Structure 1
Amino acid sequence: MRSAHQLLAVDLKAWTPEDWSAAATVATAFFTIATVAIALAAALYAKQQVDLARQLREEQAQPFVVVDFQDNAVWSKAIDFVVENMGQTLAKNVRIKLDQQFESTLDGDGFPLRDSPLMTQGIPSLPPRKRITALFDVSHDRYSAGLPMKYTATVEFQDSHGKDQEPLVYILDLSTRHDLLQIAEYRMHDAAKALREMSKTLKETRNDLRSEFRRRRMESSGVLSPDAGPTPQTGQGS
């Protein structure tokens, strides 16, 4: 039997049945190898897709704990420290570690955030979409006090089965909040302040009216000369 090279070098019309049989065998072997290679490539691609889909499902099912500084919902100049589980499952044993302890101009009020159980003991369990908010500082007071404007926070936690998750690192930078143009937005804090000022003004006006009423009544009764000054207030009663 001649080789494939010899077969290709001769006139096809001169091929014998044995030559055609040998050529068919070679072609069949070639197509078989190609078919097996394609099948292996398809199987490998399918496995990769399955692995990616499984990895995506696992990542979507994991807890995802985020920490950040945000504007207070009531007073825009106040800064809140926020911890939130943005994942789809329960997060356990959440621990927040900082490169330096929190400092705030509000520490003198007796409730420093750095000493709170949130920072010292962590969170035993944090359900999906659960959000914990703590007042951190007032922006203009902090800037004037020269306190640190940047912290690095590392969040360690476990999934619902108690398996340790990869720690997440966040850069909490307050300096980006300065020198930004903003539209003034009046919130509940501003409304309460305006109401207190209105109450104070009304109270002063009421006292002035009472004093003037007493003065005129005393003038009409002859007790007080018209040229006398305002009647001194003796109390808040009517």
Structure 2
Amino acid sequence: MKADEWAAIAAVASCASAVVALSAVLVAGWFARQQVIAAGKQVDAALKQVEESRKLREEQSQPNVVIFVEKNPAVSKALELVVKNFGTTPAYNVELTFDPKPQVSPHAVGDTEIEDLWYPDEIPFLAPGQEWRTLWDLSHHRFEHASLPSRHEAKATYADSSEKGYTTNSVLDWESLRGTESIIIKTVHDIAKLTEKQNEMHKEISQHLAAFRVPNAGVWTYTSDGKEEALRRSAEAGESRDRLRRLSGRLTGDGTGQAPTPIDDQTAAPHSTESQSTEQA
């Protein structure tokens, strides 16, 4: 082969090598770019996790005041308005807002007119887990008044120790209770009521037992038979008559203070008959 042919072959080989090298560079650049993109995604994911962790820590370390309604554990038909701090830090200057304002049926307050429910304009402090509650209304009375609103929009506005403000919205709806049923659970309150009732019964029994100290009062039980009891009572009655006779004798005597001799009923009748016969003769 001639020299110029070898030169051409060498040039072609050089070009091919350059193309292969360029392809290798391009492929390496593409892989490097993919690695950079993947690394960027990993960085973004890490930053997002850091941000979420920061928000979670903030949420866990902040107050969380919620307004809600809850059935009374002792009376299932009684609904209570509750303001509670579910957070892990104290809540300050808790303000309550309702739309419309909560109202109470007449039966619940012993009046004939619907009244507004009282609640504080501001609760200065709520510790973690602390709550404020009050009786709102009785469901079986409230549903008798169609003019009372059922749905209420509630909002709690409060701050943490650094005076950072928070707001929690909630919905209070009486219709969610309509038609519901509850299981009666006995609590310490029921035990206290039962104990109070038993104390009243014991007091009444004690009063009846105290009556036994007074003669002819209460219920008396005798262990002797009826004949002996009749004889005893007859003797007591005789003694009572003798005392009355002696007292009568002192009152009607001749002033000596001596009672006249009692006259037996069996001897008095013949004596009277004899005297009457003499007068007739």
Q: TM-score, normalised by structure 1?
A: 0.67
1:31-60 CA-to-partner distances (Å, cap 9, x unmatched) read: 332222222222222222222222222222
SS of the counterpart of 1:128?
A: coil
Please give the alpha-carbon distance, in whole angstroms, between the structure 2 residues aligned to 1:19 and 1:101.
81
Greater relative contact order (CA < 8 Å, ≥ 6 in sequence) = 1
SS of the counterpart of 1:214?
A: coil
1:178-231 CA-to-partner distances (Å, cap 9, x unmatched) read: 322322333455455555655369739966x969x53889xx687xxxxxxxxx
Please give the alpha-carbon distance, in whole angstroms, between the structure 1 residues aligned to 2:206 and 2:95.
55
Match in the other structure for 2:41: 41
Which amino acid letter does the alignment assign opposite residue 131 of structure 1?
E
Which amino acid letter does the alignment assign opposite residue 157 of structure 1?
Y
Which amino acid letter does the alignment assign opposite residue 30 of structure 1?
W
Shift in alpha-carbon separation, 1:183–1:31, aligned structure 2, 3 A: closer
Shift in alpha-carbon separation, 1:204–1:149, aligned structure 2, 3 A: farther
Match in the other structure for 2:64: 64
Match in the other structure for 2:25: 25
1:75–1:188 contact (8 Å) kept in structure 2: no
Match in the other structure for 2:176: 176
Which amino acid letter does the alignment assign opposite residue 186 of structure 1?
K
Match in the other structure for 2:159: 158
Match in the other structure for 2:133: 133
RMSD between aligned residues: 3.7
2:82–2:132 contact (8 Å) kept in structure 1: yes
Which amino acid letter does the alignment assign opposite residue 70 of structure 2?
Q
Structure 1, unpaired ranges of 5+: 1-11, 223-238
Structure 1 residue 74, shift from structure 2 partner? 3.8
The share of aligned pairs that are identical, in percent, is: 27
Match in the other structure for 1:228: none
Match in the other structure for 2:217: 214
Which amino acid letter does the alignment assign opposite residue 127 of structure 2?
P
Shift in alpha-carbon separation, 1:103–1:17, aligned structure 2, 3 A: closer
Structure 1 residue 15, shift from structure 2 partner? 6.0
Please give the alpha-carbon distance, in whole angstroms, between the structure 2 residues aligned to 1:52 and 1:214.
84
Match in the other structure for 1:235: none
Which amino acid letter does the alignment assign opposite residue 56 of structure 2?
L
Q: TM-score, normalised by structure 2?
A: 0.58
Shift in alpha-carbon separation, 1:201–1:77, aligned structure 2, 3 A: farther
Please give the alpha-carbon distance, in whole angstroms, between the structure 2 residues aligned to 1:126 and 1:32.
57
1:143-190 CA-to-partner distances (Å, cap 9, x unmatched) read: 34554443221111222211122x222111223223223223334554
1:108-128 CA-to-partner distances (Å, cap 9, x unmatched) read: 58xx87444x2x2x1122221
Shift in alpha-carbon separation, 1:59–1:74, aligned structure 2, 3 A: same
Shift in alpha-carbon separation, 1:21–1:149, aligned structure 2, 3 A: closer
Please give the alpha-carbon distance, in whole angstroms, between the structure 2 residues aligned to 1:87 and 1:149.
29
Computing the radius of gyration from Cα coordinates, the structure with the larger value is 2
Please give the alpha-carbon distance, in whole angstroms, between the structure 2 residues aligned to 1:98 and 1:34.
56
Please give the alpha-carbon distance, in whole angstroms, between the structure 2 residues aligned to 1:113 and 1:130.
25
1:149–1:174 contact (8 Å) kept in structure 2: yes
Which amino acid letter does the alignment assign opposite residue 214 of structure 1?
A
Structure 1 residue 24, shift from structure 2 partner? 2.9
Structure 2, unpaired ranges of 5+: 1-11, 221-232, 238-281
Shift in alpha-carbon separation, 1:142–1:197, aligned structure 2, 3 A: farther
Which amino acid letter does the alignment assign opposite residue 164 of structure 2?
K
Match in the other structure for 1:82: 82
